[in-house]
A and B are shown apart, each in its own frame.
Chain A
Amino acid sequence: MKISYNWLKKYIPIKLSVEEFCDKLTMFGLEVEEIINLEEKFENIVIGKIISISKHPNSDHLSTCLVDIAEKEPLSVICGAPNVGKNQTVVLAKIGAKIGEIEVKKVKLRGIKSFGMICSEKELGLSENHSGIMILDEKFNAGEPISKALNLADNIIEVEVTPNRPDLLGMIGLAREIGVMIDEKYSKPKIKFQESSQLTSDAISIEIKNPKLCPRYCCRIVRNVTIKSSPDWLQQRLRAIGLRSINNVVDVTNFVLMEYGQPLHAFDYDKISGKKIIVRTAKNNEQIELLDEENYKLKQDNLVIADAEKPIALAGIMGGMSSCISPKTKDIVLECAHFEPKNIRTTSYLMNLESDSSHRFERGTNPNGLEEIIDRAAQLIQQVAGGEICKNIVDVYPKKISPQKIFLRTKRVNDILNINLKSEKIKSFLQKFEFTISEKNNDFEVTIPTFRPDIEREIDLIEEIARRYGYQNITSTASIPQIENRQKRLTLRAIKNHLVKLGFFEVCNLSFSGTDVFEKLNLSNSDFRRETADMKNPLGEQFSILRTTLIPDLLRNVATNLSYKFEDFKLFEMNNVYFKKDEKSFLEKTFLTGTITGKFNSEYWNVHPDKPSFFDVKGVVESILEILHIPKITNYVKSTEPYFVKEQSADLIFGDEKIGSFGVLSDKILSKFEIKTFTLLFDIDLTKLLKHISQDEIVYSEVIKFPPVLRDIALISAQNISVSEIEKTIKSLNSEIIRSVSLFDVYAGKQIEKGHRSLAFRITFQSEKSTLTDNFVDKLFDKIVRKLSSDYKIKLRKK
């Protein structure tokens, strides 16, 4: 809902800046969506007077206007509105002004320059009217900023009123709420007028056929009014919140709607047949033309306001054309009623008709207090349109809706909010909300005024107290400590899951070991794995120390399973190992050790695996690093571990630190464990590895929309030049464009010079900015060839 800050302040003194005020509102549950400073918004928009007008030579519908804005010379402005005419007082947006998001600029329209823009009400955001330019009373002075002329120096606050609070859909309801928020008293307008001697009840009768759907209907009659345009103050109020001024009587009903949040309607008394208002459901096939100038077919569940003959309004949603206020209207009937929300909601939904009126009725208006509101409207109508107000309100209210009573326990309030409010404090809060209270042993019986249909239970009252107390003032309880290392747990699980998918079986061995294993593994005397934690009361020799490596147990598992005739299998263990740190303390580390025995995959009718090699285990290690998103700072160097075949093993290095090793186990070691089958091993220190895991999650980058270009390159290179070196060299030539370099063939032998090998790479070129041309890729490709040739004497392989 749009609130005019100036208007609101008529009902409650607010000494806060608009920003401070809006912050408070938001924290109180009325979320401020936007603040519009009208002075800023209407900068460079002024009153203009059209001095002359001529047809645009090159257009049928455009006119060239000379507009006086009290500057040296009048501006020449092109206007396309149908209602533009000479001597009009209009609103002119000068160059530099902003209309919505668009800045007004000097433009040429069909060959003629235009130095500004004559605006419609919609363009100014003053109403939805866009049928033509806005034409003002001639009393305004040319050149005057419209924010000043139309008294628009205001802030418009757009707040989100939650659907449970219909009482906040009017200035007075808001003022009441804000009064609770800032501890201020609000005031209502003073209502005072003279009634004529004619009784309203003599002039009109009211019958409610369906009191369930319309529990109350009030009306008043004002005779001999003069329908004309509204005074400035009234127009300005409505304009500020985006309502169009129509005429003085309709404007008053809209004004009071915005003031009290209660919709009203004015009928032309003379058009009411039989001087009788009947509230009933529609008859089948009844029709009505509403104020939106559309015809509607009615159904039996639509509630209508009818006269003796026909429907004259769709109850609570929109008035009918036949009885609307026209310039000729003399006497008016004012309606102020209460309708059942559900019926209004259904009709509004089914007819796809929404209005300020239905918006309020379907949320639930206050059935009581209608007298005050209809009197306020009568008073204002008399003030702006003259006339005599007939005596008394005709008020049909067969079954009075009385306020609910709710019992509120002080202890319950404090228990739920975990605060410590004394009952007096609760009492004062409740009174500010205008709840009536009777106290009973520190607890309360609370009478809920009918303008708060949202308060139905004790818990609803507790919410109100919490809001007034301030959510920010409720201290949170002790925060829950983060005890576990979640990242570690999830990472270890991810590694296990990954290995399982690759076909590894997890084994679990006990923590003990004998000391003989070090010799078996060929470990040197200074090897760190000889720093053992020794048992005082071991269960036997094979239990004399805590193991410092998982390798021996795993190799024993391999031997056992080979003896059961398994040929190709993969095992891993993830468990702790224990080292002596010093005399007093020990170090526990988690290791991941795995073996690949025989072939990586078993032979099958359609699977003929290659001979197993070092690269099988390297692939496993690389895939673990990949799922952990470990950036490729990894280095592989020849392993120093004594149990591998010398050339076919590698240590995994991060920075300066060795994280693990992998490779082909030597026959000598295997035979010590009675293994006769080719076996690969990896051994990774997870405690170290975990330190290198980046905390960043997956980093997403937009898919490149330009196509990649693939080129294959076959090279003859000396054996001692490593593939990784060649890859790096190629990439270094243009790392932004060269996306990947992947080795797809290696060959040495016939036709290849001795000491050399043939390497074939597929290079992917791709740019983020454009489609690469052949010419560009050719040049880069040549550059690669030249670089490899000059730095490494690598040649292109001839076909």
Chain B
Amino acid sequence: MTLKSEIENILNQARKDISSCKNLSDLENLKVKFLGRKSRFSELLKRIGKLSSEERPIIGKLLNKSKSEIENIIEKRRNSFENTVNNSEHTFDITMPGRPIEIGAKHPVFQVWEEIEDIFISMGFEIAEGPEIENEYNNFDALNTPEWHPARNLQDTLYLKNGMLLRTHTSPVQIRVMKNFKPPIKIISPGRCYRNDKPDASHLPVFHQFEALVVDVGITFADLKSTLDSFVKRFFGEKIRSRFRPHFFPFTEPSAEIDMLCINCHGKGCKLCKNSGWLEMGGAGMVDPAVLENVKFDSEKYTGFAFGLGIDRITMLRYGISDIRTLFKNDLRFLKQFV
């Protein structure tokens, strides 16, 4: 075999092997086999010096050309492997989870709280606040609560050692606002309130409520009904009606208890509404003239309405939570559901 044909044989073998090789490591082995220090090629290169002066340039040229061709096809093959790896459906698993972005959540009671605020803000209300530690005057007297009223008992109301009390509703905020501002007044006052209740499935000594108060010229019972109805529909959905039943509160006259259509059965009767078809929501009424006089408003000129609803209760209704204590255990297994 002439040198020339041997070189051609090596070249042909390399072409065949490289094109049929299966992976990168095989390719590395082939590179060593054909171009490595111990390869036939290297041997031939070493022998060049011993060739005749006529043969030397021809064979040298051929060797160099072949070498660079083998290098070229190895490189091409390598590229083709790398491209397949990157594009391969088998090695690139798009179902693997993305880089996690950990998002927390507001407490569900505060989520509901903010939503209530937003609904009332969109209806032109402002948010008012006041202290939780109140005096008896703002919490009871100014609100026309008689001395004999059971709500004032130690069994019902939490008192501090110095005679002040923890507000039993956010109504004292109404008194504070009316003392400081003139009508038109259109506020809701959400906040934390307290009752002397031992914790059980439906009671806690701490609860959250909001009250709405509107005082202006020409405010009527019909305005009360439409405002409450608008809120209930916006919060619970268009189908949820509300109704008013006569009741007694010292600070409103006429007074009413508010029910809304059971959000679970829509009035057919179920466990949630104890088969009545209605859920009790809270109290409402026209602001008692005595309350208006207490804050020096002309009760002939101005009229107003007020209502109060429980934020915790609304939260429980919305999510179907049956035990109020669940809300305040701060268990991440619970909280993580509200992301």
Q: What residues of chain A have their CB less than 8 Å away from a CB belonging to chain B?
A: 478, 480-485, 489, 493, 496, 499-512, 533-539, 543, 546, 557, 560-561, 564, 566, 569-571, 576, 578, 583-584, 586, 588, 601-602, 604-607
Interchain CA distance A504-B127 in the complex, whole Å: 26
Given A502-B104, A583-B162, A604-B97, CB of A509 within 8 Å of CB of B330: yes
Interchain CA distance A177-B114 in the complex, whole Å: 54
A484 B187 Cβ-Cβ under 8 A: yes
CB < 8 Å neighbour of B105 from A482, A485, A506, A557: A506
B328 — which chain A residues lie within 8 A by C-beta?
508-510
**Contact of B40 with A by CB under 8 A:** no
B160 A604 Cβ-Cβ under 8 A: no
B106 — which chain A residues lie within 8 A by C-beta?
496, 500, 506
CB < 8 Å neighbour of B196 from A483, A504, A537, A584: A537
B132 A557 Cβ-Cβ under 8 A: no
Interchain CA distance A564-B163 in the complex, whole Å: 42
A511 — which chain B residues lie within 8 A by C-beta?
132, 166, 192, 194, 206
Query: Which of B103, B133, B184, B331 counts the most A-chain CB atoms under 10 A from its CB?
Result: B133
B104 A570 Cβ-Cβ under 8 A: yes
Stretch at the interface among B72-80, B175-183, B277-285: B175-183
Residue of B nearest to A569 (CB): B332
Residue of B nearest to A496 (CB): B106
Given A508-B330, A569-B332, CB of A500 within 8 Å of CB of B103: yes
CB < 8 Å neighbour of A607 from B99, B107, B133, B166: B99
Q: A511-B194, A588-B132 are in contact. List 12 more A-B contacts (CB 8 A).
A: A478-B182, A489-B117, A500-B105, A506-B110, A510-B328, A536-B160, A539-B158, A586-B133, A586-B160, A588-B131, A601-B100, A605-B97
Query: Which of B117, B126, B329 counts the most A-chain CB atoms under 10 A from its CB?
Result: B126
B181 A483 Cβ-Cβ under 8 A: yes
B201 — which chain A residues lie within 8 A by C-beta?
none
Interface string of B158-190 (1 = CB under 8 A from A): 111111101000000000010001111111000
A478 — which chain B residues lie within 8 A by C-beta?
182-184
Interchain CA distance A570-B336 in the complex, whole Å: 12
B107 A506 Cβ-Cβ under 8 A: yes
CB < 8 Å neighbour of A560 from B104, B183, B330: B330
Interface residues on B, range: 35 or more
B330 A534 Cβ-Cβ under 8 A: no
CB < 8 Å neighbour of B185 from A481, A493, A510, A564: A481
CB of A666 to closest CB in B, whole Å: 23
A-B contact pairs, 21 of them (CB 8 A): A478-B184, A482-B126, A484-B187, A489-B117, A501-B103, A505-B104, A505-B336, A506-B335, A508-B109, A509-B328, A512-B206, A534-B161, A536-B158, A536-B160, A537-B158, A537-B196, A539-B205, A560-B331, A561-B331, A586-B164, A605-B97
A588 — which chain B residues lie within 8 A by C-beta?
131-133
Interface string of B98-128 (1 = CB under 8 A from A): 0110111111011000100100000000111
Interchain CA distance A506-B162 in the complex, whole Å: 33
A-B contacts at CB below 8 angstroms, number? 138
Residue of A nearest to B127 (CB): A484
**Contact of B96 with A by CB under 8 A:** yes
B315-339, CB < 8 A from A: 327-333, 335-336
**Contact of B59 with A by CB under 8 A:** no
B195-239, CB < 8 A from A: 196, 198, 204-206
**Contact of B94 with A by CB under 8 A:** no
CB of B130 to closest CB in A, whole Å: 10
Interchain CA distance A511-B194 in the complex, whole Å: 9
CB of A289 to closest CB in B, whole Å: 62
CB of A751 to closest CB in B, whole Å: 35
CB of B93 to closest CB in A, whole Å: 11
**Contact of B58 with A by CB under 8 A:** no
Interchain CA distance A560-B105 in the complex, whole Å: 18
B196 A480 Cβ-Cβ under 8 A: no
A505 B105 Cβ-Cβ under 8 A: yes
Given A484-B127, A571-B330, CB of A537 within 8 Å of CB of B104: no
A543 B205 Cβ-Cβ under 8 A: yes
A534 B160 Cβ-Cβ under 8 A: yes
Interchain CA distance A405-B147 in the complex, whole Å: 66
CB of B83 to closest CB in A, whole Å: 23
B194 — which chain A residues lie within 8 A by C-beta?
511
Interchain CA distance A570-B327 in the complex, whole Å: 18
**Contact of B1 with A by CB under 8 A:** no
Interchain CA distance A571-B331 in the complex, whole Å: 11
B127 — which chain A residues lie within 8 A by C-beta?
484, 489
A601 — which chain B residues lie within 8 A by C-beta?
100, 102
A561 — which chain B residues lie within 8 A by C-beta?
330-332
B132 — which chain A residues lie within 8 A by C-beta?
511, 576, 578, 588
CB of B323 to closest CB in A, whole Å: 15
Interchain CA distance A480-B215 in the complex, whole Å: 12
Given A539-B196, A561-B332, CB of A483 within 8 Å of CB of B100: no
A604 — which chain B residues lie within 8 A by C-beta?
97, 99-100
CB of B126 to closest CB in A, whole Å: 4
B158 A566 Cβ-Cβ under 8 A: no
B335 A507 Cβ-Cβ under 8 A: yes
Interchain CA distance A539-B198 in the complex, whole Å: 7
A535 B187 Cβ-Cβ under 8 A: no
CB < 8 Å neighbour of B177 from A483, A485, A602: A483
A481 B103 Cβ-Cβ under 8 A: no
CB of A676 to closest CB in B, whole Å: 17
B109 — which chain A residues lie within 8 A by C-beta?
508
Residue of A nearest to B181 (CB): A481
CB < 8 Å neighbour of B96 from A536, A578, A605: A605
Given A510-B204, A602-B100, A604-B97, CB of A536 within 8 Å of CB of B161: yes
Interchain CA distance A586-B206 in the complex, whole Å: 19
Interchain CA distance A538-B198 in the complex, whole Å: 10
Residue of B nearest to A586 (CB): B133
